[in-house]
Amino acid sequence: MTNKYLEKLKELGISERESKVYLTMINKKMFSAGELQEAVDIPRTKIYEVLKKMVKRGICKEKKVGVTNIYIAEDPKIVLQKIIEYQKKDLIKKEKIAAGLSNVLSPVFEKGKENNLSQDFIEILKDKKQIHHKYLSLVNNTKNELLTFNKGPYACDTTDKAVEQQDYEMDILKRGAKSRGIYEREELENYSWLSDGLENEINLGHDARVIEKLPVKMIIFDNEAVMFALDSLESESTELTMIAIEHNSVANACRILFDFIWSQSTKLKI
């Protein structure tokens, strides 16, 4: 199968690893996990996680032959129909989120116009170094709770920055604050530095969950401030623009979105 079909499956919402495994599967009646791992060149520690997810979504079937688990591709017509149905349900869910946020944010916006509120509490950040330091400052001032939607692009584009951010995050846990984060499953699979750093934070009390897709990159600090990313017009861009808003009404509105997505996510197992 060519890369063209791989890209088409990715456009439909199937991860790159799942797409590679499925395109390999349909060329042969059945595979063991070991055979798929070698054929697709996925780390052995990840192939079972990918296959479990594919079985759950109905992309392939799992059968036991003797002591070996065998994996068989589902009919493409059935798989593609399931994907479309999933996308429709996901769109309906996002429409409900947007409607709920509109109901909460619109009064805040109108109140701001009426009172001619100062815009000093809004900051647009385009430089990754600037974003990094703003994030550290807000984390350092967090006393009660840190809530995060974790997805790229990331401001911590060096090992030193990633370690520094993790140190600040662990420090608030040591001070007794709570921390909850939701992560995109594919990003945990693709970014080892992200999953490797989580274990230490979880051991200190960080509550982590996973979901297929997050609607936005967002961090909420004590329900008093929020940072969220603006998507680039170029889908493959690694550039990052973030808005920092230190206003509790906006933070509380974003908290509603966080709690909703939290209810849709599943606990992360390290």
Residue 185 lies in a domain: yes
Residue 12 lies in a domain: yes
237 pLDDT band (50/70/90 cuts)? very low
Do both 102 and 123 map to the same domain?
no
Residues 111 and 122 placed together within one structural domain of the fold: no
Residue 224 counted as domain residue: yes
Q: Is residue 145 domain-shared with residue 111, that is, in the same domain?
A: no
Same domain assignment for residues 70 and 133: no
Which residues span the domain enclosing 112? 84-117
- Pair 248, 146 in one domain: yes
Between 18-27, 49-58, 209-218, 235-244, the lowest mean confidence (pLDDT) is in 235-244
Domain shared by 126 and 64, yes or no: no
The model's pLDDT over 71-88, given as tens digits with 9 standing for 90+, comes to: 999 999 999 998 888 888
Please check whether residue 95 lies inside any domain of the structure: yes
pLDDT tier for residue 126 given thresholds of 50, 70 and 90: confident
Please indicate, yes or no, whether residues 96 and 200 belong to a single structural domain of this protein. no
Question: Is position 212 within any domain?
Answer: yes
> What is the pTM (predicted TM-score) of this model?
0.59
Same domain? 240 vs 122: yes
Contact predicate 156/148, CB 8 Å: no
What's the whole-number mean pLDDT along residues 200-207? 92
Q: Which of 146, 149, 159 is nearest to 193 (CA)?
A: 159
How far apart are the C-alpha atoms of 124 and 208, rounded to whole Å? Answer: 28
The CATH number that applies at residue 155 is 3.30.870.10
Residues 182 and 262 both lie in one domain: yes
For residue 11, give the CATH number of its domain.
Answer: 1.10.10.10
Angle of helix 16-25 relative to helix 44-56, nearest 10 degrees, comes to: 80
% pLDDT > 70, the chain: 91
Any domain includes 173: yes
Total domains present in the chain: 3
* Residue 79 is assigned to a structural domain of this protein: no
Any domain includes 238: yes
> How would residue 259 be classed by pLDDT, with cut points 50, 70 and 90?
very high
117 pLDDT higher than 80:
no
What pLDDT was estimated at residue 231?
Answer: 66
* 202 and 150 in a common domain: yes
Give the pLDDT band (50/70/90) at residue 234. Answer: very low
Statement: residue 261 has pLDDT above 80: yes
Do 70 and 137 fall into the same domain?
no
- Do 14 and 20 contact (CB within 8 A), yes or no? no
| Structure token digits, residue 63 | 């059968």
CA–CA separation, 220 and 228 (whole Å): 9
> 257 and 173 share a domain?
yes
